Amino acid sequence: MRPQILKKPHILSLCLFLLFFGFTGCKSTKTVTAGDSNLKLSAKQLIKENQKQAPEFKTLQSKLKITYSEGDKTQSHTVSYRMEKDKVLWMSATFGIIRAKITPQSVAFYNKLDNTYFEGDFKYFSKLLGTALDFEKVQNIILGEALFNLKDETYNVSVYEGKYVLQPKNQRELFEIFFLVNPSLFKVTSQQLSQMSEQRHLQIDYLAHQEVDKQVLPEHVKVIAVEGTKELIAELEFKSVSLNEDLRFPFKIPSGFKKIEL
């Protein structure tokens, strides 16, 4: 299950998109360790246990450290991250130099370093990832939930290296998808989407989980996007998370900025 595969402009655009993926830490945060494993569940039972663990909150905010690399180039940034569940995802770099906002209707960001902005929908990123993308799927990735609703299909279940592997009994025509599930937390630890005809692979690994106000959330996430011979790796480390506070999501594209056409 190792990735296979994004031309240069794709890598850059995906990098901007990956800035939305994340959160962590908190006043009442602790890393969740594995308990007793149960490797005898049916696919239906496993999906039921997984969905019991879905986090419930109204708002979330945190500091997010993003480290991404392409080839021998590596960059690291720390940003402020906020979300209102089911409504808005918001990110801002220091002094608002780069700011981004996703809603169910739109994707937008601007960059004061080069006076550019993007304002559109999910169509470009859907094409980039090889699957229809919307707000719910992005939110699911951030919260460590399965990209697709597991109740919508019938799955086969197997065990690989001490973890459950879920895969649809009938894989989609355009791509294949797999979910690895922790047998004690019943949380997704990896989701992998492969589009072999386009030599593309997206892999999202949840390397650690944490408990925040009795909610189990991702703590350390690794995203690998591969296309052809190009590979982008993003590491997300989440710090100072707090839940259910009153938050604002200021966003206004400065006048005179040039629109990016993706």
pLDDT tens digits, one per residue of 19-64 = 444 333 334 455 655 555 678 999 999 999 999 999 999 999 999 8
Contact 229, 48 (CB under 8 A): no
Contact 166, 178 (CB under 8 A): yes
Q: What residue type is 233 in one-letter code?
A: I
For the stretch 8-18, pLDDT in tens is 334 344 444 55
Identify the pLDDT of residue 133: 82
Q: Is the pTM of this model over 0.75?
A: yes
Residue 87 has pLDDT above 60, yes or no: yes
Identify the pLDDT of residue 200: 83
Identify the pLDDT of residue 129: 60
Q: For the chain, how big is the Rg over CA atoms in Å?
A: 18
How distant, in Å, are the alpha carbons of 81, 186, 192, 218, 244 from that of 202?
23, 22, 6, 18, 31
Distance CA 99, CA 108 (A): 9
Identify the pLDDT of residue 180: 96
For the stretch 112-149, pLDDT in tens is 999 999 999 888 777 766 567 899 988 998 899 998 89
Q: What is the mean pLDDT of the chain?
A: 84
Across the range 150-159, mean pLDDT stands at 93
For the stretch 201-228, pLDDT in tens is 889 999 999 899 999 999 899 989 888 8
pLDDT band at 240 (very low <50, low <70, confident <90, very high): confident
Of residues 23 and 99, more confidently modeled: 99
Token representation of residue 110: 């601007």
Q: What residue type is 167 in one-letter code?
A: Q
Torsion of CA 210, 98, 126, 175, to 10 degrees: -40
Q: For the purposes of burial, counting CB atoms within 10 Å of the CB of 161, is it exposed (0-12), middle (13-18) or buried (19 or more)?
A: exposed
Which of 223, 232, 225, 185 has the alpha carbon at shortest distance from 205?
A: 223
Residue ranges and CATH numbers for the domains of the chain are 39-259 (2.50.20.10)
pLDDT band at 255 (very low <50, low <70, confident <90, very high): very high
